[in-house]
Amino acid sequence: GPVLSCLLWIVLLQPAGWLPATFLSALLACRTGGCSMKESLLVCLLLSAALWLGMEKLLRYSLPQGTLFVLACGV
């Protein structure tokens, strides 16, 4: 489970960006770890929110947005 979730994060980081990659890999890790769907979604949301707040807002460090984000937003 943890190895697969790390591989999923690495594969998704460039095309999808850090937010979907983090959310989906954490969801996979939680589900393979035995958490319920409700617990898994809560952990994923909290992890994504903490990373966004800590890195993007407090440290002002831009995390990779991904190719799909750039194409969709025209940035």
Instruction: State the 10-residue block means of pLDDT for the chain, 75 residues long.
Output: 87 88 92 93 93 89 73 58
What single letter denotes the amino acid at residue 31?
A: R
pLDDT value at residue 26: 92
What tokens were used for 6?
Answer: 């790390």
pLDDT value at residue 70: 59
| Closest to 19 in 3D by CA, of 39, 44, 54 | 44
What tokens were used for 36?
Answer: 């319920």
Angle at CA of residue 50, ends 46 and 36, nearest 5°: 20
Q: Is the Cβ–Cβ distance between 33 and 4 less than 8 Å?
A: no
Q: Tell me which DSSP letter residue 75 carries.
A: -
User: Which residue in the block uniquely carries the two structure tokens 């890999």?
Assistant: 25
